[in-house]
């Protein structure tokens, strides 16, 4: 009987917890399948272990390049994640996973809160209505913000602890806890939908806090399916989709011949020419960003960062409110 397909690099990190932010973590709990399983799903006419890795790589890259996604749905990854509630609310918008979240109705919520580092507390962007400007606040402002957060969190935590201590329903005691409070869940997703999720969440335009989770999970995906990960980087993360107008603009600059690509002599395109092609000013800026050369993306785990589960269990256990009294009789 053939053994279950496995990846030694993934097996090495099973059960290890990688810190994210100040109290969060991501752990790869389990996985089903590897790059070979993606190939076998695409080529159902042959048996296990009959292909060379070079052929596997070529097929996986073809599948990714041409958006043939069903074979990659045959691989699944299961994570244990802990994140601030505002990150969880962004995360859960991806409706392509099985999720089981920590229940504040059933269990007492650990009173742990996320606090951004000084350099991450920034002014509102003037051009991006849902992002930061890149300019940190002053040290005095940061201290004042932290002091205000501490006061409001302490008040909310004391109210929660008093209500649960009086035996009141946990489902109501929790409602004043801030969005910075940490929650956690088990999150199971197939490889294709994971790659879609991570493409959006490692993007520089995504909120920094959820990007940090995406970067760790991308490193875990690399260990499960390194060839799929490589294709995902090349075609999704570091690749770009071109519109009809963008393709026409590039065709005016470059011609294709029997010997390959050649720059058209004297060809230029100014803003007026791009506008005439139908590209709005924002689209022109986006085209410039697509063509800007950047270092290739890399998301590799550092094993030295890993912690045993007990390290987080102890921290969260210490933050759980004192045991409540027995509920009073009606």
Catalytic pick from 201, 294, 315, 328?
201
CATH architecture of the domain covering 1-114+180-238+296-322: 2-Layer Sandwich (3.30)
The pTM for the full model equals 0.90
Tell me how far CA of residue 205 lies from CA of 92, 131, 163, 282, 330, in angstroms: 18, 8, 40, 15, 53
28 DSSP β-pair partners:
79
Burial classification of residue 195, based on how many CB atoms lie within 10 Å of its CB (0-12 exposed, 13-18 middle, 19 or more buried) = buried
Which residue stretches of 169-308 are H helix?
Answer: 170-173, 191-201, 208-224, 226-232, 244-253, 271-276, 281-291
Residue 16 CB contacts under 8 Å (≥ 6 apart), including other chains: 27, 28, 303, 306, 307, 308
pLDDT at 49: 52
244 is catalytic: no
Beta carbons within 10 angstroms of residue 329's beta carbon: 4
Determine phi and psi for 135, rounding to 5 degrees: -105, 110
257 DSSP β-pair partners:
260
Joined tokens for residue 319: 């933050």
Per-residue pLDDT 10s for the chain (330 aa) are 457 899 999 999 999 999 999 999 999 999 999 999 999 999 875 555 555 666 889 999 999 999 999 999 999 999 999 999 999 999 999 989 999 999 999 999 999 999 999 999 998 888 777 788 888 899 999 999 999 999 999 999 999 999 999 999 999 999 999 999 999 999 999 999 999 999 999 999 899 999 999 999 999 999 999 999 999 999 999 999 999 999 999 999 998 888 888 999 889 999 999 999 999 999 999 999 999 999 999 999 999 999 999 999 999 999 999 765 545 444
Provide the residue ranges of all domains of the chain, joining segments of one domain with +: 1-114+180-238+296-322, 117-177, 243-293
pLDDT at 46: 53
């Amino acid at each position: 009987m053939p053994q279950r397909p496995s990846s030694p690099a993934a097996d090495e990190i099973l059960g290890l917890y990688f810190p994210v932010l100040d109290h969060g973590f991501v752990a790869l709990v389990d996985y089903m399948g590897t790059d070979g399983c993606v190939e076998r799903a695409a080529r159902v006419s042959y048996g296990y272990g009959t292909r060379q890795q070079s052929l596997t790589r070529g097929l996986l890259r073809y599948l990714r390049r041409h958006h043939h996604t069903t074979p990659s749905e045959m691989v699944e990854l299961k994570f244990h994640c802990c994140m601030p509630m505002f990150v969880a609310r962004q995360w859960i918008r991806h409706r392509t996973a099985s999720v089981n979240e920590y229940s504040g109705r059933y269990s007492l919520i650990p009173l742990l809160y996320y606090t951004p580092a000084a350099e991450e507390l920034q002014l509102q962007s003037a051009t991006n209505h849902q992002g930061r400007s890149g300019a940190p606040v002053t040290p005095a402002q940061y201290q004042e913000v932290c002091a205000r957060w501490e006061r409001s969190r302490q008040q909310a935590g004391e109210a929660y602890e008093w209500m649960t201590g009086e035996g009141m329903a946990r489902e109501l005691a929790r409602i004043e806890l801030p969005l910075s409070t940490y929650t956690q869940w088990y999150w199971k997703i197939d490889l294709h939908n994971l790659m879609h999720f991570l493409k959006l969440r490692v993007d520089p335009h995504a909120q920094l806090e959820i990007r940090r989770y995406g970067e760790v999970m991308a490193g875990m995906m690399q260990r499960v399916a390194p060839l799929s990960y490589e294709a995902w980087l090349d075609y999704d993360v570091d690749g770009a989709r071109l519109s009809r107008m963008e393709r026409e603009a590039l065709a005016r600059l470059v011609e294709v011949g029997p010997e390959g690509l050649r720059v058209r002599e004297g060809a230029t395109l100014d803003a007026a020419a791009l506008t005439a092609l139908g590209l709005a000013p924002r689209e022109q800026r986006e085209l410039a960003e697509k063509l800007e050369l950047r270092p290739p993306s890399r998301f590799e785990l550092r094993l030295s960062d890993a912690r045993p589960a007990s390290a987080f269990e102890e921290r969260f256990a210490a933050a759980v409110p004192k045991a409540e009294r027995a509920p009073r009789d009606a």
